[in-house]
């Protein structure tokens, strides 16, 4: 088997490519971890939104039972019957 010596420039280029590849892999991994964390945060926010909608619906039903049909002026703290 014949062997030949690489030039210093070729070795430097190959090492640079190897370093760049490792750096890309590391950065890709970091981005993937961030994506997973963001997915988890999004799931939690969706749960919070669902819970908030349930609370809003419950309060709406309670107020409608108590005051009837109408609207609420939060600034004045008043119910305006339709």
Cα separation, 12 vs 20, whole angstroms: 12
Please write the tens of the pLDDT for every residue from 15-34.
999 999 999 999 999 999 99
Distance CA 82, CA 16 (A): 74
| pLDDT of the residue at 15 | 98
The answer to whether 43 and 54 are in contact (CB under 8 A) is: no
pLDDT of 53: 98
| pLDDT for position 82 | 86
Per residue in 36-76, pLDDT (tens digit) is: 999 999 999 999 999 999 999 999 999 999 999 999 999 99
Task: Tell me the C-alpha distance between 39 and 32, whole Å.
Answer: 11
């Amino acid at each position: 088997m014949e062997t030949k010596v690489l030039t210093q420039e070729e070795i430097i280029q190959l090492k640079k490519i190897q370093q760049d590849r490792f750096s890309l892999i590391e950065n890709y991994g970091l981005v993937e971890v961030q994506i997973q964390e963001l997915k988890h945060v999004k799931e939690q926010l969706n749960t919070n939104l669902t819970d908030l909608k349930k609370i809003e619906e419950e309060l709406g039903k309670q107020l409608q039972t108590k005051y009837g049909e109408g609207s609420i002026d939060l600034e004045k703290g008043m119910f305006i019957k339709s």
